[in-house]
Amino acid sequence: MKPASIVYLVTRIHGLRTHLVQQHDMQILTKARSMKEIGDNLIKTEYGTEISKLPAKEVDAVALEQIFLKTLVDRFLFVTREAQGKMQDLLNRYCERFDVENIKRVIRAKHSGEILEEPSLIPIPREHTLVNFPALLNSKDVEEVVSLLRETPYRPLAQKLETYKQATVTIVLEAALDDIYFSRVWELAGKVSDAEAVKELIGEEIDLRNLLIGLSMKIRDLSPNLIEETFTSSHHRIPRGRLQSLAQARLEDAPSLLATQPYSKLASEAVKISRGGSQMALEVPFLRQMYDDASKALRIHSFDAGYIIAYLMLCECEARNLVTITTGKQLGLSEDEISQATLGIQSKA
């Protein structure tokens, strides 16, 4: 018997899912002739309220991206508020991905001594974050950023500070942040009702993240030690040992090393992209895989907690697709080019 709170939340999300922008509407957006037309088409969606506040002249890809990200955060936080018990704890931790992305942005800017302002961050309401971002933005260097995070869940970052100073690459700290984030989410994923379905989705994200980072660093010919440093301690289907072998092996050997699908296919895709056989961004096939599986999960796990995580993943997918469309339009990309860059769009219920 499922807890009533989960049944309630899943039912709410069945309703919320109908608010997602449908594939047909996405295709209409890719055909839009101007940014204003995109704005007009989105008026009836959940983005409408924010878009209508924008003066017509200020409707551009940058302003729209801020709206898409704000709406994404609002959607995540709404679902979190509606949840109860362990599910709420898990979703609270799941939402920390925005904190992590913002901390990474601050670290990158402080690393090169650039001034970063609040509009460059994902807008997270102050009451929903444990991180004091205004203080981080005012900090003088990466060391101060890490010390300001001492009272937050990101305290273990301090252990990587020495490695960062020696290697002077932010990858070390960014990987540590991912590790903290996924460890915290993974820890609770196994404790909620329908843990298997939840772990399947979150686990795949972890695997794909590790694989993407590992392969992209192999393409860059970085040292195996540094590559190993970037893998998360939590893993799902790709065990730690396999990832370590991947770090040591040649890029060409990656597909055979990752014998299981879809990882082997993705590795082959990465090899093809690295040889210039495809103009596609390396992230695209990995994200496509993740969101396609989330889309499938919506059908398979219609009545369990997996549905909640799948919905959140598709919200993220929608935001990414909208960013791709508006940015592509602003850069003058053709309809076909934009369609190729978009990720798997959710299928109809």
Which amino acid is present at 223?
A: S
Q: Does 113 bind other proteins (CB under 8 A)?
A: yes
Q: Does 289 bind other proteins (CB under 8 A)?
A: no
CB atoms within 10 A of CB 190: 13
Closest distance of CB 319 from other proteins, Å? 9
Q: Which is nearer to other proteins, 155 or 220 (CB)?
A: 220
Q: Which is nearer to other proteins, 171 or 195 (CB)?
A: 171
Helices and strands in the chain, H and E counts: 19, 0
Which amino acid is present at 325?
A: I
Task: Tell me, by CB under 8 A, how many residues bind other proteins.
Answer: 42
Binding mask 204-233 for other proteins (x = CB under 8 A): --------xx-xx--xx-x-----------
d(C-alpha 26, C-alpha 23), whole Å: 5
CB atoms within 10 A of CB 109: 19
> Which residues contact residue 183 at a Cβ distance below 8 angstroms, ignoring those fewer than 6 apart?
232, 233, 234
Stretch that binds other proteins, among 46-54, 61-69, 249-257, 289-297 (CB under 8 A): 61-69
Binding mask 9-38 for other proteins (x = CB under 8 A): ------------------------------
Q: Which is nearer to other proteins, 65 or 253 (CB)?
A: 65
Binding mask 174-193 for other proteins (x = CB under 8 A): x-------------------
Q: Which is nearer to other proteins, 161 or 169 (CB)?
A: 169
What DSSP assignment string belongs to 297-324? HHHHTTTSTHHHHHHHHHHHHHHHHHHH
- Assess contact for 35 and 29: CB atoms under 8 A: no
Among 124, 324, 344, 346, binds other proteins (CB under 8 A): 324
d(C-alpha 338, C-alpha 317), whole Å: 15
Q: Does 54 bind other proteins (CB under 8 A)?
A: no
Residue among 233, 111, 212 nearest 169 (CA): 111
- Assess contact for 331 and 35: CB atoms under 8 A: no
Q: Does 333 bind other proteins (CB under 8 A)?
A: yes
d(C-alpha 31, C-alpha 175), whole Å: 38
Stretch that binds other proteins, among 26-34, 81-89, 246-254, 324-332 (CB under 8 A): 324-332
What DSSP assignment string belongs to 217-233? HHHTT--HHHHHHHS-S
Q: What does the binding site for other proteins look like in residue numbers (CB under 8 A)? A: 61-62, 65-66, 69, 104-105, 108-109, 111-114, 116, 120, 122, 169-171, 174, 212-213, 215-216, 219-220, 222, 279-284, 320, 323-324, 327-328, 331, 333, 338, 341
